[in-house]
Amino acid sequence: MSLHALFMALAHSPLGHAMQASKWDFALVEMVHLLALAILGGSVLIVDLRLLGVILKGESAFLIGRDLSRMLLGSLAVMVVSGIALLSEEAGKCYYSPAFRWKIALLAAAVTFYFTLHRRALLHTGADAPNLWSRIAAIISLTLWLGVGVAGRAIGLL
């Protein structure tokens, strides 16, 4: 099945129909999406500010990263599920939306980076002061996640 067919199938699924039919179903899922966004944003920021050496300098970056990863991954899961529901409302339009394509590309990049080089930076930094690599990792991470958010906001505007 092509990607376009998959998007159309989503738009015509019972989920898609429910989201298209009811204003409040859509609003409710949007609220959940937004709440999870706030939690995700906060956890990304705290970890990356530690890698940058702005906050919690004396504490282990690894411990902070590990503890906040539960917050981050939990909210990410909620965002993906609620995001699919939001997508089903106008999947046909999103398929062609440049903002949506950017968002998904940036999301893939952010998640890949998080599980690979970012994780390594956390492990490597441990309880030490920030170094050049931890700072670069933090800046890349913040830029990617911010990009996901801004592109996401743009879907409704462009």
Q: Using CB under 8 A, which of 8, 15, 52, 68 touches another protein?
A: 68
C-beta separation of 79 from 43 below 8 A: no
CB 32 within 8 A of CB 82: yes
Scanning 9-17, 80-88, 96-104, 150-158 for contacts with another protein by CB under 8 A, the matching segment is 150-158
The sign of the torsion formed by the CA atoms of 139, 145, 148, 151 equals negative
Q: CB under 8 A: which stretch of 13-21, 61-69, 85-93, 134-142 binds another protein?
A: 61-69
Distance CA 158, CA 156 (A): 6
Residue 145: count of CB within 10 angstroms of its CB = 24
* Contact flags string 107-146 toward another protein, x per CB under 8 A: ---------------------------------------x
Distances (CA, A) of 46 to 22, 39, 77, 149: 37, 11, 19, 17
Of 50, 52, 66, 153, give the one whose Cα is nearest residue 114. 66
Query: Of 28, 41, 40, which is closest to residue 89 (Cα–Cα)?
Result: 28
Both tokens of 19, joined, read 């989201």
Q: Which of 7, 10, 19, 43 binds another protein (CB under 8 A)?
A: 43
Q: Which of 39, 78, 104, 111 binds another protein (CB under 8 A)?
A: 39
Out of 10, 11, 19, 45, point to the residue binding another protein (CB under 8 A): 45
Among 8, 15, 52, 63, binds another protein (CB under 8 A): 63
Q: Is 52 in the site for another protein (CB under 8 A)?
A: no
Binding site for another protein (CB under 8 A): 23-24, 27, 30-31, 34-35, 37-43, 45-46, 49, 55-56, 59, 63-64, 67-68, 70-71, 146, 149-150, 153, 157
